[in-house]
Each structure stands twice: as structure tokens, then as C-alpha cells.
Chain A
């Protein structure tokens, strides 16, 4: 493709300025600030700071609470990704096979993606509330069995379900597009070769979905690291006893509740590096390797 070249002009600069300003104010400036704070000791009430080198990182990486946060983040990332991709794939296969009512839920399945994370958390707050809603009936039979403010694993399950619910839509759209791009004659050829629908799915559709699958794997894991704050904040507040203290939530809690700006900044930098690494893997390896011509 031919590239268009433009000479510098004031109109072009003026048109670019708002976007550049937004990116600068909300990304580069805070990132630079975080980078600076990560290497200094910032006073909680303002009034000067001290250069401490890698001390903040050393402290973060030797903090057992940080490692438990890493552990729960990894559990959350894997569980939401598996759940979301599994659900999305199942729904996409139903829609692709045009089972009854597919037109209605093809649209319905996409909607959750438009819901903001805190709203998702609030909605599930009602769903998982031990005193009202579905689980109150279980608690009526077995008193105290369900309470996400006391049982850590129930709290993790709750944020996983809420997070996955939000992710399903995105993966669904991609899976459906990929399934519908498989030529019909391939399915027909397999039918002529004697393969039944389930066999065709295993031998034909799933292998041909591999590129999409890897793409969604990385996207979902990345999203679960960065986009989970709203859900955790509204649903569990990181508790009980730090059981749902995901990396991104811990940054907020340490920084704005514990006033440990420097520690939070160091954690931000680590999380940013992790996401950059995942994105790099995405573009460098997966996009190139797994595709068929």
C-alpha cells in the first residue's frame, strides 16, 4: 500500500492537538510521575521527597502481601479467561449452528461489553448478596453457608464470575466471526467424509479457531489484569482479608488508602511491564505464527 505523506501544517497540528493533549495528560504525564515516584520516597502529605533507587522495588518484591496479590491475580486471570473463552466459544458455536433463537441472543450476548466494570460489580453485588437474591435462599436452608465477606474462595469465585461475564461478549464476537469465516464447503466436505457434527467441531472448527483462540487468550489475560478494578472495588473491596486483593486493586489501596505513593508507583511500573510483555508476545509471536493460508 502506498503511504501518504503530508507536509507539516498548522491545521494538522491543531487537529492532532486535542488527542495528543489527552494522551499526554492521562498517560505520559502520570506514567512519568509514577516512574519518578517509584525511585523516590514520597511524603504522604507532600513536602519533598528523597531519591532511594531500587529500594521501593526491593520492598514490594519482599512483601508477602504483594506475592499473595500476585497469586490471586494469576488465579483470577486464568479463571476468568478460561471461563469467558469457554462460555464465548459455546455460545458462538450455538449461534453459528443457528440453533433456535440465535438472532435474539446474538445481540443480547454482545451487550455486557458495553457495561462499565463498576456497574458490573454493582449488579453482581445484588446477585451474590448473602441476605437477598438467589443466595439468600441457599442461606435460608444452610444458614451462613454463602457469605463473600467472610469466605475468601467465595469472594474470588464472585469476582471471577463477574469478570468473566463482562469478558464473554468480546470473545464471543471474535469467535463468531472466525466460525463464520470457515468456508461452508469445508464443513460439507467433512460431512461427505462421514464426520458427524461433534466430530466436525473437534477435527475442523476448533483447529481452525486456534489463531482466534490465542489472540483472545492474550487479550483476556491482559484485560483481567487491568480492567478488574471496578469489579473488585464494588463487589468485595479487596477482602475478605486481602483474598481478592488483585494487583491493580492493591496499587489503589496502597496508594490512596495507605498513602504509600512510592510503593504503589513501584507496583504500577511492574504491572505496566507485565502488560507490555504480554502485548509484545501477542504481536511478536502469536499474530505471526498461528495462522493458516
Chain B
């Protein structure tokens, strides 16, 4: 059974619809990351689960109980906020122990649990400090500890790492995943950072404009994006898109300038069907002029250290290729491009949904769903 079950949930603020009929099942012990740009409704969805916003329509159940009408304290969720939301007038120990104090846990037990929790996140030396005297990373740990100590059924994270610097963000990311592995509580993590999503998630939920675009493991979402939107959002640098139409006779996609890009297998579509052909920068290959399937020109080359990012112009469209070598290619140099058929993604031009070319791979379900 799903730990959190979201059924046709929508949320409107006045006349603005923020979420339009979202369906999602989150399984017991799973780490789910909700990924999307700002304004896509991901934080709203999390706040609906937490009970900080009222559900406009639909139903949310936690552990089989419909929670629509329940107060946040009755839902068994703990939340880590983006700006930590630590109580500024309380010490670290008081911050961590506040939930227990409200719950009426005896002082001695409270103190023991605060100390144990603080130890598990490395805060033992800071228990008597006020949040104002802590660094960003330490405050983040206090916020984590405050959530952990309640032993909640569900952890909710609202972009908790976005205020940290890059190095600390990676470190805290690892720590959050380690804590999840140790405690095993169901976790829902909201972020706009695809690296956080890819690395933390058991399952990734990609959202756009108030609805879910795709749900799947990070590998599934990356390798078989369900829409143009997901394909463009996941992966860095972003996927290249070339508009064209299906040519059954020539077994490929005919681009607008007459270039044919051959496909390994033909999708079940009529001749002339309009499509978007997608290819990731790491999969396209640079060739000498006249030896590839496409002719393009160098616009500029960005050196990333380990790799080079070749920004090309094909007709009037930018096209990006990731290469290992450091070729001397000044701007304006004509080059060829090879587009390997096995790495091509096809999307319907009208609906922007994915068109399957090869036989679908078996979908990996979360372990919990199979056993439980």
C-alpha cells in the first residue's frame, strides 16, 4: 500500500490554478524527489501534504488515512524548510526538543533524545548556542535534527539545500541520503536542482505548470524522457532538438532543410508526421566537414576543464556537442555532425510527448511495490 496517496489533487489561489489534478503514489520508505522550475507547483504540493495549505479538490491519504481535514500536527509529517525556520530565541537544544516539549515528553527523556539526535548529526558541541551564532551548514543540521527527533512517518524537504554554497550542498546532500538510509522513513524532497534530484531520488517526479510530466527512477527519466519538457529539463547541458518529419521511404527523419537523419527502427507513424528529434550533447559526435549527416558551423567553444562544450549553429538553430578533445576550431569553421541512431529521442511535434522507437525496456518498480 502506498504510504502517501495523492488523488486528483488540485489547488487554486483565487482564480489562479497552481495544481491541476495531480495523481501520485509514494511508497513506504521511498525517497521521492519532486523536481521542477520555480512556479511549477512543487512546493505547493509538499505544503498540501504537510497540511500548511488547504486542498481545493481531491484527496490526500497518509498511511491509509485521508488527511484533508487534519491539522499539520495530526499528520505525522516533519518538514525541513528552505530558510531553516529555526526559532531564533531558543538554543539549538531547545529548537531540536521543541516538538517533544509540545508533546509533553518528560524533561529527562527529552534531554536524552535531544542529545542522541544532536550527536547523530554532529551538533553535540553547539547545543547551547542560538541559531544566530551558527553557520549555514550547522543551521541546516539543526533543522534536520528537529525533524528527525520526532521519528515521523514522513519527512518533507522544501528545497533545504538551496541556501548553501556549492560544496556544502553536495556534503549535505550525502548526509540527507545517509540519514534516509539509516532511518528509512518515507521522504519527499522538493528541489529545482536536477543534480539533487538525480542523486537523491529513488524515484523522480518531474513537474511542469501544475501537473506531473513524468514519474520514474532517475535513470528512466534521463534515458527515456516522457516529453520534450522533461528531455530539455533533465541533463546538462540540455538536449538538442531538431524539428522534422517522418519519412517512411527513406527510413528516417527529414529535417526542414532536406537533410535526412536515419533511424535504426521506424516508429508506427504515417509518412510526413511532424516530430521533434532529440539528441543529447554527449551523444552527438563532431566529424570533419562532409563526413557527418549534418553540416554545421562553430559558434564558440567553452572549456569546462574536463570537457569542451562546442556551441554550433545548424541553419539558425543552436546545437551543442560535448567533446573530450581540444580541437583548434575558430568561430565560423564548418564541421560535420554524426547523430547515432541508437541515441535518438523522438517526440510528437503537436503533443510534445515521447514516441517509442525501440521496444520499451522493462520498467523498474520500487522494491517496496513488489514485495509489499
Q: Taking beta carbons and an 8 Å cutoff, which residues of A are in contact with B? A: 183, 185-186, 188-196, 199, 203-204, 207-208, 210, 292-293
Contact = CB atoms under 8 A, between A and B. Distances in A.
A192 B73 contact: yes
Interface in B54-92: 71-73, 77-79, 81-83, 85-89
A153 B81 CA distance: 54
Contacts of B71: 191
A192 B98 contact: no
B296 to A, nearest CB: 49
B102 A183 contact: no
Contacts of A207: 89
Given A188-B52, A292-B132, A194 B85 contact: no
Given A192-B72, A203-B102, 13 more contacts: A183-B83, A185-B81, A188-B52, A188-B72, A189-B86, A192-B50, A192-B52, A192-B77, A192-B79, A194-B73, A194-B99, A194-B102, A199-B102
Given A190-B98, A194-B102, A203-B98, A208 B79 contact: no
Contact of A193 (B83, B98, B130, B132): B98
Contact of A191 (B72, B82, B88, B150): B72
A185 B79 CA distance: 11
B306 interface: no
Given A188-B52, A292-B130, A193 B85 contact: no
B72 A292 contact: no
28 contacts: A185-B82, A185-B83, A186-B85, A188-B52, A188-B81, A188-B85, A189-B81, A189-B85, A189-B87, A189-B146, A190-B87, A191-B52, A192-B77, A193-B73, A193-B99, A193-B146, A194-B103, A195-B73, A195-B102, A196-B73, A199-B102, A203-B87, A203-B102, A208-B88, A208-B89, A210-B89, A292-B88, A292-B132
Contact of A185 (B51, B85, B98, B102): B85
Contacts, number: 63
A192 B89 contact: no
A186 B51 CA distance: 15
Q: Which of B50, B77, B102 has the most CB of A within 10 A?
A: B102
Contacts of B99: 193-194
Contacts of B130: 292
A10 B78 CA distance: 67
Closest 3 pairs (CB-CB, A-B): A185-B85, A293-B132, A189-B85
A292 B85 CA distance: 14
Q: Which of B50, B99, B132 has the most CB of A within 10 A?
A: B99
A207 B88 CA distance: 10
A190 B50 CA distance: 12
Nearest to B132: A293
Contact of B87 (A192, A194, A204): A204
A196 B83 CA distance: 22
Contacts of B86: 189
Contacts of B78: 192
A213 B77 CA distance: 34
Contacts of A186: 85, 87-88
Given A186-B87, A207-B89, A191 B81 contact: no
Contacts of A190: 87, 98
A204 B101 CA distance: 13
A186 B131 CA distance: 13
A293 B88 contact: yes
B89 A292 contact: yes
A207 B73 CA distance: 22
B45 to A, nearest CB: 16
A189 B72 CA distance: 10
